[in-house]
Structure formats: structure tokens, C-alpha cells
Amino acid sequence: MHRELIIENFKCFSEKTKITLGKITVCLGSNSVGKSSVIQACILMRQIYEQASVFKDTQVKEYNIQLNDVYGLQLGDAEHIKSSKNREDIYLKIDQYEYRLASDEHSPMELNVRNGYDVVEMSSHKGLFSKGFYYLNAERTGPRNYQTINSKMVDNCGVYGENTVHLLSLLGNNKVNELRCFGMDENKKVNTYSKQVEYWIDYIIPGIEINADDMTDLRISKMSLRQPALDTGFLSPYNFGFGISYVLPIVLTGLIAEDGSVFLVENPEAHLHPMGQSHIGYFLATMALSGVQVVVETHSEHVLNGIRIAALKNAMKPEDISINYFSVNSHGEDTKHRVENISLNERMDLEAWPQGFLDQEEEDLRTLRELRRR
């Protein structure tokens, strides 16, 4: 499991900035303060490993890393993602593995990097260097009657969830890792993927049944949904809004992720009711406890609270959960981005509450009180 990530001269991180990692890492803060940059830095590190694996039996030690169209990256020109024009390289370090990524004058949308580490040794540490790697973009695929079946072998839901229905159809009757099975209802004990996905989805968005079928002759996968409480059959996902389509790839990815691997997910709360946001937090913490290192970028206190509930219920240790609060300090022309790690105690209470940290409800209530006094 990775313990820390250090970033320097990448986007908003002009100085060396440490992000503490746990079994589940939560990145919280307002917009444009560096949360997505952490995810992107992890993807760049993953690319370095993949390139090193391709050339492991050769003398090639320098590679070019793509800034666009790989794992959904859209970083543009290499010169535009450096914090300082006076620095030639971007510094990334995860645990003991450190790299300097430099611009390539012949390929402005790539970064050049040298890897001096043994690939087999890197693989033994797993995490970003595992065989499996899982990332879900904030902009996931919305409701669709059909998804195209990828001609290549599919072993994940895709960056946007575009392979989810096909993968669910393929795995349907396969068995899920016992530690990841839904455990809050004695009547829900069938351990196949099709049933476990249904159980977890019902926990997050109550009253939904899912049907996934491959139509291989047409190279499409079809999904339909049903609410047993209503007297209808299975209907188009368009009749059920965005919530299910956005959360389904999160649930399936959590269930399929390789032990010891990393699962990066942006905005798991998107299109969910607050109860669903809390429950997706509970789900992600359960997956982290089962052996998948989870990194979550979120704006939702409900997701965080769901993680804390799961921690208390399942005896997670405070150090298993790393909460990183991203903010900006402005003093005149001097603007600095900060990352503060917020500790939890054994009762899963937050031991610090920085200004601006999940306090908007309190601010709004104060404003309402003041307006009522007028």
C-alpha cells in the first residue's frame, strides 16, 4: 500500500507538497485547489510504470508520457502544467519511487522521464504498479439503453464507465470476494456479481433491479432497470435519471478490483441524494478494508461521514483513513496552495476543523439568522 505522494511544480503545486495516503484517501476542498491534480499525478505515475513494463527486457530507460487521451487525461501542452516557467521539470514521488518529468521540445504534449528502478521490484509493491489499475472520471457515462462492446478484452469499467454493462453481463454468475459482499441483510447472501451489484445498488438507491444482456451479434450491451414496488417490467435507464448510471461503475469496479491495486474515483456523490452519498462512502470504505487502496476526490461531507460510519462499524483504524483538506492561502500577491492532513481519533471524530472545511451549512444558517433579525 502506498503511504505518501509528493508533487512539485505540477499545476497548482509550486512547492513540494505531501499528500498522505491511507487504505482510503479522501481529497476535500473547494474548486481548483489541487484535488484533481492528485488524481492526475497518480495517472502519470501509472503511465511511467506501464512504459517501464513495456521496455523491461531492453536497455531503454527513458520514455515519453502522454498528457492527453490516456486514462481520460486532457492536460494540453507540457509547458502549461508547470507551476514555474523557471523550472524545467515536474517532480513526482510515491513512497521511495521518485521521478523528474521534463518537456520534450519535439513533442510538446508529452513529458520525458527516466526510470532507474527494477520493474519486477516495483510490481511487488502493487498499488499503482499492480497488474490492475482502476480510475473513474468525474464525467461518467449517463443513462444509455446500449453500450458498445469493446473489441478488446474488457477487465474494467473504463474511465467513463463505458464498459460497465458488458462487464456486468460477462461476470454475472462469477463469485465475488467474500470481504466485498453486502453484509447488512441476512436475506441477501447470493455472492454472484449480478446479485452483489444489485444488493449494493439497492443500498445506495433503494428499490432498483438491474438487467444486463450482451447482444454480441450487434456488438452492444443492453441495460434495463425495474422498480419492484411499481407494476412495470424492466424499463430504459432514461426513465431512472443519472444517479444509477453514475454509481453503477463505482460499485462494479469496487467489486472487481484486484487485491493490492489502486482505485481512483472522482465525485462519487454525483447525482446522488444525501443518503446515497453517505452509502457510497460506506461502500468505498468497505472495499478499502477488503484490500483495495481507494483514493476519492469529493465535495461531499456525506461521503466522508459514510466512510466514518463504515470505519466504526468494521473496526477500521484511524490511520486507515487519510483525510486531506486542500485550500488556498492568499496574502497580497503571495498565493499558496496548502494540503492539510486531518487526523481521526478512535471514535472517528475529526481532530481538526480548518476554516472553510465542510462548514457551509453552518455559514448559511448563520446568514439566515442574521437576515431574520433585520
pLDDT tens-digit readout, 16-50: 999 999 999 999 998 888 999 999 999 999 999 99
DSSP secondary structure string for all residues of 224-242: EEE-TTSS---B-GGGG-H
Q: What is the pLDDT of residue 143?
A: 85
Same domain, 155 and 83: no
Rounded to the nearest integer, the mean pLDDT of the chain is: 91
For residue 219, being part of any structural domain is answered with: yes
Residue 336 has pLDDT above 80, yes or no: no
Same domain, 215 and 324: no
Residue 333 has pLDDT above 70, yes or no: no
For residue 303, being part of any structural domain is answered with: no
Weakest-pLDDT range from 111-115, 218-222, 235-239, 289-293: 235-239
Number of domains, the chain: 2
Same domain, 1 and 115: yes
Same domain, 16 and 92: yes
Residue 209 has pLDDT above 90, yes or no: no
Among 218, 234, 251, identify where a domain stops: 251
Mean pLDDT of all residues in 257-279: 96
Same domain, 69 and 137: no
For residue 8, being part of any structural domain is answered with: yes
CA distance 356 to 30: 8
pLDDT in tens, 120-165: 999 999 999 999 999 999 999 988 888 988 877 789 999 999 999 9
For residue 116, being part of any structural domain is answered with: yes
Same domain, 150 and 104: no
Among 251, 279, 297, identify where a domain stops: 251
Q: If pLDDT is split at 50, 70 and 90, which confidence band does 356 have? A: confident
Mean pLDDT of all residues in 311-320: 95
Element (H, E) at 309: helix 301-313
Residue 114 has pLDDT above 90, yes or no: yes
For residue 257, being part of any structural domain is answered with: no
**How crowded is residue 287: how many other Cβ atoms within 10 Å of its Cβ?**
27
Weakest-pLDDT range from 56-60, 63-67, 254-258: 56-60
Q: What is the pLDDT of residue 146?
A: 83
Q: What is the pLDDT of residue 181?
A: 96
Give the global pTM: 0.93
Same domain, 105 and 222: no
For residue 231, being part of any structural domain is answered with: yes
Strand positions, DSSP E, the chain: 4-8, 17-20, 24-29, 62-66, 89-94, 97-104, 107-114, 134-136, 146-148, 209-215, 220-226, 262-266, 293-297, 321-331, 334-342
Same domain, 243 and 323: no
For residue 285, being part of any structural domain is answered with: no
Structural domain range at position 217: 133-251
Mean pLDDT of all residues in 303-320: 95
179-188: which pairs have CB atoms within 8 A and are 24 or more residues apart?
179/289, 179/290, 179/291, 180/254, 180/255, 180/286, 180/287, 180/290
Q: If pLDDT is split at 50, 70 and 90, which confidence band does 87 have? A: confident
Same domain, 162 and 234: yes
Among 192, 219, 251, identify where a domain stops: 251
Q: What is the pLDDT of residue 40?
A: 97
Same domain, 170 and 223: yes
Weakest-pLDDT range from 18-22, 71-75, 197-201, 370-374: 370-374
Provide the phi-psi class of 85: left if phi over 0, else alpha when psi is between -120 and 50, else beta: alpha
Residue 113 has pLDDT above 90, yes or no: yes
Q: If pLDDT is split at 50, 70 and 90, which confidence band does 237 have? A: confident
Q: What is the pLDDT of residue 76?
A: 94
Same domain, 203 and 106: no
Mean pLDDT of all residues in 209-230: 85
Same domain, 121 and 225: no
Q: What is the pLDDT of residue 204?
A: 95
Q: If pLDDT is split at 50, 70 and 90, which confidence band does 332 have? A: low
Mean pLDDT of all residues in 205-216: 87
Mean pLDDT of all residues in 82-98: 90
Q: What is the pLDDT of residue 357?
A: 82
Q: What is the pLDDT of residue 74?
A: 95
Which three three-digit cell numbers place residue 294?
Answer: 481507494
| Contact by Cβ (8 Å): 72, 63 | no
For residue 271, being part of any structural domain is answered with: no
